[in-house]
Chains A and B, each alone.
Chain A
Amino acid sequence: MSTREGMEIAFAAAEAAALCRPEVIAAYPITPNTHIPEHLSDIVADGRLDAEFICVESEHSALSACCGASATGARVFTATSSQGLLFMGEVMPIVSAMRLPVVMALGNRAVSAPINIWNDHSDIMSQRDTGWISLFAANGQEVIDMIIQAFKIAEHPHVMLPVNVNLDGFQLTHVVEPMLFPDQDEVDRFLPPYTPFATLHPDKVVSMGTLGMPDIFNEAMQAKDAAVIGSLPVIEAVWQEWERHFGRAYEPVYAYRTEDAEVLLVTMGSLSETAEAAIDALRDRRVPAGLLKLRLWRPFPREAFTAAAKGARVLAVMDRAVSFGGVAGPVGAEVRACFYPGPAHPLIVNKIIGLGGRDVTVENFIAIVEEARATTVQPEGYQLYGVRGLS
Protein backbone atom coordinates (compact mmCIF):
# COMPACT_ATOMS: atom_id res chain seq x y z
CA MET A 1 0.00 0.00 0.00
CA SER A 2 1.00 3.55 -0.60
CA THR A 3 -0.14 6.63 1.26
CA ARG A 4 -1.40 9.66 -0.64
CA GLU A 5 -0.25 12.89 0.93
CA GLY A 6 0.15 16.52 -0.02
CA MET A 7 3.61 17.82 0.76
CA GLU A 8 6.30 20.18 -0.44
CA ILE A 9 8.36 18.22 -2.95
CA ALA A 10 11.68 18.92 -1.23
CA PHE A 11 10.25 17.37 1.94
CA ALA A 12 8.95 14.49 -0.14
CA ALA A 13 12.43 13.99 -1.58
CA ALA A 14 13.77 13.73 1.97
CA GLU A 15 11.02 11.28 2.91
CA ALA A 16 11.79 9.20 -0.18
CA ALA A 17 15.49 9.17 0.67
CA ALA A 18 14.66 8.13 4.24
CA LEU A 19 12.54 5.24 2.92
CA CYS A 20 15.75 3.93 1.31
CA ARG A 21 17.40 3.68 4.75
CA PRO A 22 20.60 5.59 3.93
CA GLU A 23 23.30 5.04 6.54
CA VAL A 24 25.21 8.25 5.93
CA ILE A 25 23.91 11.63 4.80
CA ALA A 26 26.26 14.55 4.24
CA ALA A 27 24.89 17.72 2.74
CA TYR A 28 25.25 21.47 3.00
CA PRO A 29 22.23 23.72 2.65
CA ILE A 30 21.90 25.87 -0.43
CA THR A 31 18.74 27.28 -1.97
CA PRO A 32 16.64 25.68 -3.42
CA ASN A 33 17.65 22.22 -2.17
CA THR A 34 17.89 23.31 1.49
CA HIS A 35 14.66 21.70 2.65
CA ILE A 36 15.89 18.27 1.57
CA PRO A 37 18.86 17.97 3.99
CA GLU A 38 16.98 20.08 6.55
CA HIS A 39 14.09 17.63 6.62
CA LEU A 40 16.42 14.63 6.58
CA SER A 41 18.22 16.16 9.53
CA ASP A 42 14.85 16.31 11.32
CA ILE A 43 14.06 12.72 10.41
CA VAL A 44 17.40 11.55 11.84
CA ALA A 45 17.09 13.76 14.95
CA ASP A 46 13.58 12.45 15.57
CA GLY A 47 14.89 8.90 15.55
CA ARG A 48 12.86 7.85 12.52
CA LEU A 49 16.02 7.01 10.58
CA ASP A 50 19.18 5.41 11.96
CA ALA A 51 21.76 7.30 9.94
CA GLU A 52 24.85 9.41 10.47
CA PHE A 53 23.96 12.96 9.46
CA ILE A 54 27.31 14.66 8.93
CA CYS A 55 27.11 18.44 9.29
CA VAL A 56 29.87 19.51 6.96
CA GLU A 57 31.30 22.98 6.36
CA SER A 58 30.89 22.99 2.57
CA GLU A 59 29.64 21.06 -0.41
CA HIS A 60 33.19 20.00 -1.21
CA SER A 61 33.31 18.37 2.20
CA ALA A 62 29.80 16.98 1.77
CA LEU A 63 30.64 15.01 -1.33
CA SER A 64 34.07 14.08 0.04
CA ALA A 65 32.38 12.66 3.14
CA CYS A 66 29.90 10.82 0.93
CA CYS A 67 32.77 9.42 -1.13
CA GLY A 68 34.57 8.09 1.94
CA ALA A 69 31.40 6.78 3.56
CA SER A 70 30.37 5.00 0.39
CA ALA A 71 33.83 3.43 0.18
CA THR A 72 33.21 1.86 3.59
CA GLY A 73 30.10 0.21 2.15
CA ALA A 74 27.46 2.55 3.53
CA ARG A 75 24.38 3.60 1.60
CA VAL A 76 24.89 7.33 1.09
CA PHE A 77 22.68 10.27 0.15
CA THR A 78 23.38 13.93 -0.49
CA ALA A 79 21.62 16.91 -2.01
CA THR A 80 22.72 20.23 -3.45
CA SER A 81 22.09 22.98 -6.02
CA SER A 82 23.94 25.32 -8.33
CA GLN A 83 27.13 26.74 -6.77
CA GLY A 84 27.04 23.87 -4.31
CA LEU A 85 27.26 21.38 -7.15
CA LEU A 86 30.08 23.37 -8.71
CA PHE A 87 31.92 23.31 -5.40
CA MET A 88 31.43 19.53 -5.38
CA GLY A 89 32.86 19.55 -8.89
CA GLU A 90 36.32 18.35 -7.91
CA VAL A 91 34.90 15.27 -6.20
CA MET A 92 32.16 14.50 -8.76
CA PRO A 93 34.30 12.53 -11.25
CA ILE A 94 36.18 10.85 -8.40
CA VAL A 95 33.01 9.32 -6.96
CA SER A 96 32.03 7.94 -10.35
CA ALA A 97 35.53 6.73 -11.27
CA MET A 98 35.79 4.97 -7.91
CA ARG A 99 32.43 3.36 -8.77
CA LEU A 100 30.72 4.49 -5.58
CA PRO A 101 26.90 4.44 -5.67
CA VAL A 102 26.20 7.80 -4.03
CA VAL A 103 22.72 9.18 -4.71
CA MET A 104 22.19 12.93 -4.98
CA ALA A 105 19.03 14.99 -5.20
CA LEU A 106 19.93 18.02 -7.29
CA GLY A 107 17.57 20.98 -6.95
CA ASN A 108 18.50 22.58 -10.26
CA ARG A 109 19.35 26.26 -10.06
CA ALA A 110 21.11 28.75 -12.29
CA VAL A 111 24.82 29.31 -11.85
CA SER A 112 26.07 32.80 -10.95
CA ALA A 113 26.79 35.55 -12.05
CA PRO A 114 24.59 37.53 -11.79
CA ILE A 115 23.52 35.81 -8.60
CA ASN A 116 20.30 34.00 -9.24
CA ILE A 117 18.70 31.41 -7.02
CA TRP A 118 16.05 30.33 -9.52
CA ASN A 119 15.70 27.40 -11.81
CA ASP A 120 17.54 26.32 -14.92
CA HIS A 121 19.90 23.47 -15.80
CA SER A 122 23.25 25.26 -15.95
CA ASP A 123 24.39 23.54 -12.76
CA ILE A 124 24.01 19.94 -13.93
CA MET A 125 25.22 20.75 -17.45
CA SER A 126 28.50 22.00 -15.98
CA GLN A 127 28.93 18.54 -14.42
CA ARG A 128 27.55 16.63 -17.38
CA ASP A 129 30.77 14.83 -18.21
CA THR A 130 31.67 13.61 -14.73
CA GLY A 131 30.37 10.07 -15.28
CA TRP A 132 27.27 10.27 -13.09
CA ILE A 133 23.96 8.82 -14.18
CA SER A 134 21.51 11.71 -14.55
CA LEU A 135 17.75 11.36 -14.20
CA PHE A 136 15.30 14.24 -14.68
CA ALA A 137 12.03 14.36 -12.76
CA ALA A 138 9.03 16.24 -14.15
CA ASN A 139 6.87 16.29 -11.02
CA GLY A 140 6.82 15.38 -7.34
CA GLN A 141 5.81 11.78 -7.90
CA GLU A 142 8.73 11.27 -10.24
CA VAL A 143 11.05 12.80 -7.63
CA ILE A 144 9.95 10.26 -5.01
CA ASP A 145 10.07 7.37 -7.43
CA MET A 146 13.40 8.31 -9.00
CA ILE A 147 15.18 8.74 -5.67
CA ILE A 148 14.19 5.21 -4.65
CA GLN A 149 14.99 3.88 -8.12
CA ALA A 150 18.33 5.72 -8.06
CA PHE A 151 19.66 3.64 -5.16
CA LYS A 152 18.64 0.43 -6.91
CA ILE A 153 20.34 1.53 -10.14
CA ALA A 154 23.46 2.93 -8.47
CA GLU A 155 24.08 -0.13 -6.29
CA HIS A 156 23.42 -2.71 -9.00
CA PRO A 157 26.58 -4.86 -9.30
CA HIS A 158 26.71 -4.18 -13.06
CA VAL A 159 26.46 -0.42 -12.53
CA MET A 160 28.24 0.75 -9.35
CA LEU A 161 27.91 4.41 -10.30
CA PRO A 162 26.59 7.53 -8.58
CA VAL A 163 23.21 8.87 -9.69
CA ASN A 164 21.87 12.40 -9.55
CA VAL A 165 18.13 12.96 -9.57
CA ASN A 166 17.41 16.38 -11.05
CA LEU A 167 14.42 18.28 -9.74
CA ASP A 168 13.88 21.83 -10.87
CA GLY A 169 14.49 24.41 -8.17
CA PHE A 170 11.28 26.07 -6.90
CA GLN A 171 9.18 24.75 -9.81
CA LEU A 172 9.52 21.40 -8.08
CA THR A 173 11.43 21.81 -4.81
CA HIS A 174 9.04 24.36 -3.34
CA VAL A 175 5.74 23.21 -4.82
CA VAL A 176 3.18 21.30 -2.77
CA GLU A 177 1.70 18.37 -4.64
CA PRO A 178 -0.35 15.33 -3.75
CA MET A 179 1.97 12.33 -4.06
CA LEU A 180 1.91 8.62 -3.39
CA PHE A 181 4.43 7.52 -0.79
CA PRO A 182 5.25 3.81 -0.91
CA ASP A 183 5.16 1.99 2.41
CA GLN A 184 8.43 1.10 4.08
CA ASP A 185 8.01 -2.66 3.59
CA GLU A 186 7.28 -2.14 -0.11
CA VAL A 187 10.47 -0.10 -0.49
CA ASP A 188 12.38 -2.72 1.50
CA ARG A 189 11.18 -5.43 -0.90
CA PHE A 190 12.17 -3.34 -3.93
CA LEU A 191 15.46 -2.13 -2.49
CA PRO A 192 17.32 -4.72 -0.41
CA PRO A 193 20.31 -3.68 1.72
CA TYR A 194 23.39 -2.59 -0.22
CA THR A 195 25.97 -5.30 -0.91
CA PRO A 196 29.16 -3.47 -1.84
CA PHE A 197 31.75 -4.90 -4.23
CA ALA A 198 34.51 -4.01 -1.77
CA THR A 199 34.77 -1.89 1.34
CA LEU A 200 37.49 -0.04 3.17
CA HIS A 201 37.93 -2.31 6.14
CA PRO A 202 41.08 -3.20 8.06
CA ASP A 203 40.27 -6.91 7.90
CA LYS A 204 40.60 -7.04 4.14
CA VAL A 205 43.11 -4.68 2.64
CA VAL A 206 42.04 -2.70 -0.41
CA SER A 207 43.25 0.57 -1.92
CA MET A 208 40.75 2.85 -3.65
CA GLY A 209 41.41 5.96 -5.66
CA THR A 210 45.03 5.12 -6.38
CA LEU A 211 47.41 6.74 -8.85
CA GLY A 212 46.80 5.88 -12.50
CA MET A 213 49.81 6.38 -14.72
CA PRO A 214 49.59 7.19 -18.45
CA ASP A 215 50.04 3.43 -19.00
CA ILE A 216 46.63 2.76 -17.48
CA PHE A 217 44.61 5.97 -17.64
CA ASN A 218 43.10 5.46 -21.10
CA GLU A 219 41.95 1.99 -20.12
CA ALA A 220 40.54 3.35 -16.85
CA MET A 221 38.49 5.94 -18.75
CA GLN A 222 37.31 3.32 -21.23
CA ALA A 223 36.21 1.13 -18.33
CA LYS A 224 34.35 4.06 -16.77
CA ASP A 225 32.65 4.89 -20.07
CA ALA A 226 31.68 1.25 -20.57
CA ALA A 227 30.16 1.27 -17.08
CA VAL A 228 28.06 4.37 -17.80
CA ILE A 229 26.93 3.07 -21.20
CA GLY A 230 26.36 -0.37 -19.71
CA SER A 231 24.05 1.05 -17.05
CA LEU A 232 21.31 1.71 -19.64
CA PRO A 233 19.84 -1.83 -19.73
CA VAL A 234 19.98 -1.98 -15.93
CA ILE A 235 18.14 1.35 -15.65
CA GLU A 236 15.46 0.04 -18.00
CA ALA A 237 15.20 -3.23 -16.05
CA VAL A 238 14.93 -1.36 -12.73
CA TRP A 239 12.17 0.79 -14.21
CA GLN A 240 10.30 -2.31 -15.38
CA GLU A 241 10.66 -3.81 -11.93
CA TRP A 242 9.39 -0.55 -10.45
CA GLU A 243 6.30 -0.73 -12.64
CA ARG A 244 5.64 -4.31 -11.48
CA HIS A 245 5.96 -3.23 -7.83
CA PHE A 246 4.27 0.15 -7.91
CA GLY A 247 2.32 0.32 -11.16
CA ARG A 248 3.94 3.50 -12.48
CA ALA A 249 5.79 3.08 -15.78
CA TYR A 250 9.14 4.71 -16.52
CA GLU A 251 11.15 4.73 -19.69
CA PRO A 252 14.19 6.77 -20.85
CA VAL A 253 12.12 8.76 -23.36
CA TYR A 254 8.47 9.34 -22.54
CA ALA A 255 6.39 9.99 -25.65
CA TYR A 256 3.26 12.09 -25.18
CA ARG A 257 0.69 12.23 -27.99
CA THR A 258 3.35 11.66 -30.65
CA GLU A 259 1.14 9.68 -33.06
CA ASP A 260 1.38 11.23 -36.55
CA ALA A 261 3.10 14.28 -35.06
CA GLU A 262 4.77 16.66 -37.50
CA VAL A 263 6.48 18.59 -34.71
CA LEU A 264 7.85 17.13 -31.49
CA LEU A 265 8.83 19.23 -28.51
CA VAL A 266 11.79 17.82 -26.58
CA THR A 267 11.97 18.76 -22.89
CA MET A 268 13.59 17.67 -19.65
CA GLY A 269 12.35 18.27 -16.11
CA SER A 270 9.32 20.23 -14.92
CA LEU A 271 8.82 22.10 -18.22
CA SER A 272 7.52 18.80 -19.56
CA GLU A 273 4.31 19.32 -17.59
CA THR A 274 3.75 22.74 -19.18
CA ALA A 275 4.65 21.26 -22.55
CA GLU A 276 2.03 18.52 -22.12
CA ALA A 277 -0.61 21.20 -21.54
CA ALA A 278 0.58 23.00 -24.67
CA ILE A 279 0.39 19.78 -26.71
CA ASP A 280 -3.16 19.22 -25.44
CA ALA A 281 -4.13 22.72 -26.53
CA LEU A 282 -2.49 22.22 -29.93
CA ARG A 283 -4.12 18.83 -30.45
CA ASP A 284 -7.48 20.41 -29.62
CA ARG A 285 -6.84 22.69 -32.60
CA ARG A 286 -5.82 19.62 -34.68
CA VAL A 287 -2.18 20.70 -34.80
CA PRO A 288 -0.12 17.48 -35.19
CA ALA A 289 2.31 18.10 -32.35
CA GLY A 290 3.66 15.83 -29.63
CA LEU A 291 6.19 15.77 -26.81
CA LEU A 292 9.29 13.74 -26.04
CA LYS A 293 10.20 13.99 -22.38
CA LEU A 294 13.76 12.93 -21.59
CA ARG A 295 13.87 11.23 -18.21
CA LEU A 296 17.37 9.90 -18.69
CA TRP A 297 20.13 12.31 -19.64
CA ARG A 298 23.23 10.21 -18.88
CA PRO A 299 23.66 7.69 -20.30
CA PHE A 300 21.90 9.28 -23.26
CA PRO A 301 19.24 6.88 -24.59
CA ARG A 302 20.20 7.34 -28.21
CA GLU A 303 18.29 4.39 -29.68
CA ALA A 304 15.14 5.03 -27.70
CA PHE A 305 15.29 8.69 -28.64
CA THR A 306 15.73 8.25 -32.38
CA ALA A 307 13.02 5.56 -32.36
CA ALA A 308 10.62 7.84 -30.47
CA ALA A 309 11.36 10.76 -32.82
CA LYS A 310 10.84 8.66 -35.95
CA GLY A 311 8.38 10.20 -38.38
CA ALA A 312 8.54 13.74 -37.06
CA ARG A 313 9.49 16.43 -39.57
CA VAL A 314 10.73 18.96 -36.99
CA LEU A 315 12.10 18.56 -33.48
CA ALA A 316 11.90 21.62 -31.25
CA VAL A 317 14.56 20.91 -28.65
CA MET A 318 14.41 22.91 -25.42
CA ASP A 319 17.58 23.67 -23.49
CA ARG A 320 17.81 25.33 -20.10
CA ALA A 321 21.52 26.09 -20.19
CA VAL A 322 23.80 27.91 -22.61
CA SER A 323 26.98 26.40 -23.99
CA PHE A 324 28.50 29.81 -24.61
CA GLY A 325 29.97 30.08 -28.08
CA GLY A 326 28.97 26.55 -28.99
CA VAL A 327 26.87 25.36 -31.91
CA ALA A 328 23.87 24.30 -29.80
CA GLY A 329 22.63 24.01 -26.24
CA PRO A 330 23.65 20.80 -24.44
CA VAL A 331 20.43 18.93 -25.29
CA GLY A 332 20.33 20.41 -28.79
CA ALA A 333 23.88 19.26 -29.49
CA GLU A 334 23.11 15.79 -28.14
CA VAL A 335 20.00 15.41 -30.26
CA ARG A 336 21.74 16.62 -33.40
CA ALA A 337 24.65 14.24 -32.80
CA CYS A 338 22.15 11.40 -32.36
CA PHE A 339 20.92 11.78 -35.90
CA TYR A 340 24.22 12.50 -37.61
CA PRO A 341 25.14 8.93 -38.61
CA GLY A 342 21.71 8.36 -40.15
CA PRO A 343 20.84 9.00 -43.79
CA ALA A 344 17.87 11.23 -43.00
CA HIS A 345 17.14 13.41 -40.03
CA PRO A 346 14.43 15.78 -38.90
CA LEU A 347 14.91 19.54 -38.87
CA ILE A 348 16.12 20.43 -35.39
CA VAL A 349 15.16 23.77 -33.87
CA ASN A 350 17.05 24.52 -30.65
CA LYS A 351 15.60 27.03 -28.19
CA ILE A 352 17.15 27.99 -24.90
CA ILE A 353 14.35 28.86 -22.52
CA GLY A 354 13.57 29.47 -18.90
CA LEU A 355 16.99 30.61 -17.74
CA GLY A 356 17.35 31.69 -14.12
CA GLY A 357 13.68 31.16 -13.32
CA ARG A 358 12.21 33.02 -16.30
CA ASP A 359 8.66 31.73 -16.68
CA VAL A 360 7.87 29.45 -19.60
CA THR A 361 4.19 29.34 -20.39
CA VAL A 362 1.87 27.12 -22.40
CA GLU A 363 1.60 30.03 -24.85
CA ASN A 364 5.40 30.07 -25.25
CA PHE A 365 5.39 26.40 -26.19
CA ILE A 366 2.50 26.89 -28.61
CA ALA A 367 4.40 29.72 -30.30
CA ILE A 368 7.55 27.58 -30.47
CA VAL A 369 5.63 24.71 -32.06
CA GLU A 370 3.99 27.07 -34.57
CA GLU A 371 7.40 28.48 -35.47
CA ALA A 372 8.78 24.94 -35.80
CA ARG A 373 5.90 23.97 -38.12
CA ALA A 374 6.77 26.91 -40.38
CA THR A 375 10.42 25.81 -40.52
CA THR A 376 11.49 24.34 -43.86
CA VAL A 377 15.27 24.77 -43.71
CA GLN A 378 17.56 23.57 -40.92
CA PRO A 379 18.23 26.71 -38.83
CA GLU A 380 21.74 27.57 -37.76
CA GLY A 381 22.83 27.27 -34.15
CA TYR A 382 20.43 28.02 -31.36
CA GLN A 383 18.34 30.87 -30.03
CA LEU A 384 17.78 32.20 -26.53
CA TYR A 385 14.02 32.38 -26.57
CA GLY A 386 12.13 35.48 -25.52
CA VAL A 387 15.19 37.65 -24.99
CA ARG A 388 14.39 41.35 -25.16
CA GLY A 389 16.29 43.02 -27.97
CA LEU A 390 16.56 39.84 -30.09
CA SER A 391 14.48 40.05 -33.25
Chain B
Amino acid sequence: MAKKKWPQDYQDLTPGCMVFEPASARAYHTGAWRAQKPTYTFSRCIKCGLCYLYCPEGCIHETEEGYFVADLDYCKGCGICAHECWPRAITMVDEED
Protein backbone atom coordinates (compact mmCIF):
# COMPACT_ATOMS: atom_id res chain seq x y z
CA MET B 1 0.00 0.00 0.00
CA ALA B 2 1.39 3.33 -1.06
CA LYS B 3 1.96 6.04 1.51
CA LYS B 4 -1.20 8.06 2.01
CA LYS B 5 -0.94 11.47 0.44
CA TRP B 6 -4.28 12.88 1.59
CA PRO B 7 -4.89 14.93 4.75
CA GLN B 8 -4.97 12.99 8.00
CA ASP B 9 -7.42 14.96 10.16
CA TYR B 10 -10.55 16.82 9.14
CA GLN B 11 -8.94 20.11 10.13
CA ASP B 12 -6.27 19.51 7.50
CA LEU B 13 -8.80 19.56 4.65
CA THR B 14 -8.97 22.63 2.46
CA PRO B 15 -12.39 24.35 2.43
CA GLY B 16 -14.67 22.36 0.15
CA CYS B 17 -11.88 19.81 -0.32
CA MET B 18 -10.41 22.03 -3.03
CA VAL B 19 -7.28 20.60 -4.62
CA PHE B 20 -4.52 23.05 -5.48
CA GLU B 21 -1.89 20.57 -6.75
CA PRO B 22 -2.41 19.70 -10.42
CA ALA B 23 -2.52 16.01 -11.37
CA SER B 24 -2.37 15.00 -7.72
CA ALA B 25 -5.05 12.35 -8.28
CA ARG B 26 -2.19 10.10 -9.39
CA ALA B 27 -1.10 9.97 -5.76
CA TYR B 28 -4.14 7.80 -5.13
CA HIS B 29 -3.06 4.30 -6.06
CA THR B 30 -6.26 2.69 -7.24
CA GLY B 31 -4.31 -0.54 -7.72
CA ALA B 32 -4.93 -1.14 -4.01
CA TRP B 33 -8.46 -2.23 -4.94
CA ARG B 34 -7.14 -5.16 -6.99
CA ALA B 35 -8.01 -8.77 -6.17
CA GLN B 36 -6.14 -10.29 -9.13
CA LYS B 37 -3.11 -9.09 -11.04
CA PRO B 38 -1.91 -9.78 -14.58
CA THR B 39 1.22 -11.89 -15.00
CA TYR B 40 3.11 -12.21 -18.29
CA THR B 41 4.63 -15.02 -20.30
CA PHE B 42 6.69 -12.84 -22.61
CA SER B 43 7.73 -15.84 -24.76
CA ARG B 44 4.12 -15.93 -26.02
CA CYS B 45 3.74 -12.14 -26.43
CA ILE B 46 3.65 -10.94 -30.04
CA LYS B 47 3.77 -7.25 -28.98
CA CYS B 48 0.46 -6.54 -30.72
CA GLY B 49 -0.62 -4.00 -28.08
CA LEU B 50 -4.23 -5.20 -27.91
CA CYS B 51 -4.03 -5.19 -24.10
CA TYR B 52 -2.82 -1.61 -24.25
CA LEU B 53 -5.79 -0.64 -26.44
CA TYR B 54 -8.40 -2.46 -24.36
CA CYS B 55 -7.21 -1.50 -20.87
CA PRO B 56 -10.08 0.65 -19.46
CA GLU B 57 -7.72 2.13 -16.88
CA GLY B 58 -5.12 3.29 -19.42
CA CYS B 59 -2.46 1.93 -17.11
CA ILE B 60 -0.61 -0.28 -19.63
CA HIS B 61 2.62 1.03 -21.14
CA GLU B 62 5.20 -0.30 -23.59
CA THR B 63 8.56 -1.32 -22.17
CA GLU B 64 11.91 -0.65 -23.86
CA GLU B 65 11.86 -4.24 -25.13
CA GLY B 66 8.48 -3.61 -26.79
CA TYR B 67 6.37 -5.68 -24.40
CA PHE B 68 3.20 -4.24 -22.86
CA VAL B 69 2.80 -4.33 -19.06
CA ALA B 70 0.40 -2.86 -16.56
CA ASP B 71 1.37 -0.30 -13.94
CA LEU B 72 0.31 -2.10 -10.79
CA ASP B 73 -0.12 1.19 -8.92
CA TYR B 74 -3.25 1.74 -10.97
CA CYS B 75 -4.24 -1.66 -12.48
CA LYS B 76 -7.53 -2.66 -10.82
CA GLY B 77 -7.22 -6.26 -11.93
CA CYS B 78 -10.27 -6.35 -14.18
CA GLY B 79 -8.68 -8.99 -16.44
CA ILE B 80 -9.79 -7.47 -19.74
CA CYS B 81 -6.17 -7.54 -20.98
CA ALA B 82 -5.95 -11.27 -20.24
CA HIS B 83 -9.32 -11.87 -21.89
CA GLU B 84 -8.31 -10.02 -25.06
CA CYS B 85 -4.80 -11.48 -25.27
CA TRP B 86 -5.36 -14.25 -27.88
CA PRO B 87 -1.77 -15.62 -27.73
CA ARG B 88 -2.51 -16.14 -23.99
CA ALA B 89 0.57 -14.29 -22.80
CA ILE B 90 -1.36 -12.77 -19.87
CA THR B 91 -2.68 -14.79 -16.91
CA MET B 92 -4.59 -13.33 -13.99
CA VAL B 93 -3.48 -14.63 -10.61
CA ASP B 94 -4.89 -13.93 -7.16
CA GLU B 95 -3.10 -11.20 -5.24
CA GLU B 96 -2.59 -13.49 -2.25
CA ASP B 97 -0.56 -15.95 -4.32
Interface residues of A (CB under 8 A from B): 97-100, 160, 197-198, 205-213, 215-216, 218-220, 222-223, 226-227
Across the interface, which residues of B come within 8 angstroms of A97, CB to CB? 16-17
Chain A binder among B7-15, B35-43, B68-76: B7-15
Q: Point out which of B16, B18, B19, B28 has the most chain A C-beta atoms below 10 A from its C-beta.
A: B16
Return the contact of B4 from the options A215, A218, A227 (Cβ within 8 A).
A215
List residues of chain B with CB within 8 A of the CB of A208: 16, 18-19
Given the known interface contacts A205-B22, A215-B4, the answer about A160 and B10 at a Cβ–Cβ threshold of 8 Å is no
**A205 lies within 8 A of B7 (CB):** no
- Is B93 interfacial (CB 8 A cutoff)? no
Q: Does B80 contact A (CB under 8 A)?
A: no
A94 to chain B, nearest CB (A): 10
From residue A154, how far is it (CB to closest CB) to chain B in Å?
A: 13
A-B residue pair count with CB separations less than 8 angstroms: 53
- Contact indicator B10/A226 (Cβ below 8 Å): yes
Q: Which residues of B contact A220 (CB under 8 A)?
A: 10, 13, 17
Asked if residues A222 and B10 are in contact (CB atoms below 8 Å), the reply is: yes
Pull 21 A–B residue pairs with CB atoms less than 8 Å apart, ordered by A.
A97-B16, A98-B16, A98-B17, A98-B18, A99-B15, A100-B16, A198-B18, A205-B20, A206-B19, A207-B18, A208-B16, A208-B19, A213-B28, A215-B4, A218-B10, A219-B7, A219-B10, A220-B10, A220-B17, A222-B10, A223-B11
- Could you tell me the distance in whole angstroms from the C-beta of B16 to the nearest C-beta in chain A? 4
Q: A219-B9, A223-B10, A226-B10 are in contact. Are A212 and B18 (CB under 8 A)?
A: no
* Complexed CA–CA distance, A215 and B2 (Å): 13
Question: How far is A223 from B14 in the complex, measured between Cα atoms in Å?
Answer: 9
CA distance A226 to B15 in the complex (A): 11
A219-B7, A219-B10 are contacts. A212–B20 as well, Cβ < 8 Å? no
Is B53 part of the contact surface with A, judged by Cβ < 8 Å? no
How long is the Cα–Cα vector from A389 to B80 in the complex, in angstroms?
A: 65
Which residue of B has the minimal Cβ distance to A99? B16
> Which residues of the other chain, B, contact A222 by a CB distance below 8 angstroms?
10
Pairs of residues from A and B, 6 with the lowest C-beta to C-beta distance, nearest first: A99-B16, A219-B10, A207-B19, A222-B10, A98-B16, A99-B15
Q: Which residue of B lies closest to A204 (CB)?
A: B20
Q: Is the CB of A216 within 8 A of B15?
A: no
- On whether the beta carbons of B18 and A216 are closer than 8 Å, the reply is no
CA distance A212 to B18 in the complex (A): 11
- Chain B contact residues, majority secondary structure: loop
Nearest chain B residue, comparing its CB with the CB of A98: B16
Closest CB-CB distance, A67 to chain B, in whole Å?
11
B50 within 8 Å of A (CB atoms): no
A102 CA to B2 CA, complexed, in Å: 38
Apart from A205-B20, A208-B16, A227-B15, 14 more pairs, CB < 8 Å: A98-B16, A98-B18, A99-B16, A160-B16, A206-B18, A207-B18, A210-B19, A211-B25, A215-B4, A216-B17, A220-B13, A223-B10, A223-B11, A223-B13
Nearest CB in chain A: distance from B23 CB, A: 9
Residues of chain B lying within 8 A (CB to CB) of residue A213: 28
Docked Cα-Cα span, A223 to B16, in Å, equals 8
The CB with the most chain A CB atoms within 10 A, among B4, B6, B10, B15, is that of: B15
Contacts of A215 in B (CB 8 A): 4, 6
Q: Which residues from chain A contact B9 at a C-beta distance below 8 Å?
A: 219
What mask results when residues 53 to 81 of chain B are scored 1 for a CB within 8 Å of chain A, else 0? 00000000000000000000000000000
**Chain B nearest Cβ from A164, distance in angstroms:** 18
In Å, the complex CA distance between A233 and B50 comes to: 61
A215→B7 CA distance, assembly (Å): 10
* C-alpha gap A160/B7 in the complex (Å): 20
A125, chain B: closest CB distance, angstroms: 25
- The smallest beta-carbon distance between B14 and chain A, in angstroms, is 8
Q: How far is the CA of A207 from the CA of B10 in the complex (A)?
A: 18
When C-beta atoms are compared, the residue in chain A nearest to B24 turns out to be A207
Query: Chain A contacts of B7 at CB under 8 A?
Result: 216, 219
Which B-chain residue is minimally distant from A227 (CB atoms)? B15
Measured between alpha carbons, how far is A212 from B6 in the docked complex, in Å?
10
A197, B15: Cβ atoms closer than 8 Å: yes
